[in-house]
Amino acid sequence: MKIFADTADTQAIGHLSEAGLIDGVTTNPSLIAKSGRNVLDVAREICAMVDGPVSVEVASPDYDGMMKEAAVIADIAANICIKLPLTFDGLRACRALTHQGHKTNVTLCFSVAQALLAAKAGATFVSPFVGRLDDINLDGIELISQIRRVYDNYPELKTEILAASLRTRNHVARVAGIGADAATMPAALIEAMISHPLTDKGLEGFMKDWAATGQSIL
């Protein structure tokens, strides 16, 4: 499963990318606003830091506006993935942009029916939101499972499932077990996945025993 960092923090992206821990980046208007920087400047910098897809979202709600913005976004770098909302105009734009050869990420997916339409529109990725469904007492993990089953029924559908709105290590483990193609999450969650108390305890014991030998590898 590919792991994407869901952030516009270029320092965090560089830290994770240098360690080989991420396969791409996703951003959205909220993350860009949090960075306090110009969207095109941020996107250009991120695209230079990672080889994989970098999702940058259009801001216009209508088809014509989406297409104009998409043309500007697509010109940033070869690894740009144009992010579109799962609306009628968003799906229409997805279809047009896919035919033009662009990568697309259809976001704000909350149902199997929506995911099916995104695939029909030719989306490179569809982003079902796990955590936001959990927030309203629906099962976000089950949605990923249902979409996986539907897509697997129809091999001609090439859209990849990009599990989004992941909040915990358990979320990540479960979507990986279900068969999500990719998962996007905050940089802090990616780093938290490294830690385990038994790892810390074992390392502490190893270091203590090694110190007792009085040896040095160097």
DSSP string for 4-33: EEE---HHHHHHHHHTT--SEEE--HHHHH
pLDDT in tens, 200-213: 999 999 999 999 99
Q: Stretch 23-41: mean pLDDT, rounded?
A: 92
| Mean per-residue pLDDT of the chain | 97
Known active-site residue 83: yes
What integer pLDDT is reported at residue 33 of this predicted model?
87
Are 28 and 49 in contact, with CB atoms under 8 Å apart?
no
In DSSP notation, 83-151 reads EEESSHHHHHHHHHHHHTT-EEEEEEE-SHHHHHHHHHTT-SEEEEBHHHHHHTT--HHHHHHHHHHHH
* Domain range list for the chain: 2-213
Q: Stretch 150-159: mean pLDDT, rounded?
A: 97
What integer pLDDT is reported at residue 83 of this predicted model?
98
Residue 66 to residues 8, 50, 70, 103, 197, Cα–Cα distance (Å): 21, 25, 6, 14, 47
What integer pLDDT is reported at residue 34 of this predicted model?
86
The rounded radius of gyration (Å) of the Cα atoms in the chain is: 20
Are 202 and 168 in contact, with CB atoms under 8 Å apart?
no
What integer pLDDT is reported at residue 64 of this predicted model?
98
Residue of 34, 83, 103, 208 with catalytic role: 83
Q: Which CATH architecture has domain 2-213?
A: Alpha-Beta Barrel (3.20)
What integer pLDDT is reported at residue 57 of this predicted model?
97
Q: Stretch 1-25: mean pLDDT, rounded?
A: 97
What proportion of the chain, given as a percentage, has pLDDT over 70?
Answer: 100
Q: Stretch 114-132: mean pLDDT, rounded?
A: 98
* pLDDT band, very low/low/confident/very high, at 74 (cuts 50, 70, 90): very high
Neighbouring C-alpha atoms within 13 Å toward the C-beta of 1: 19
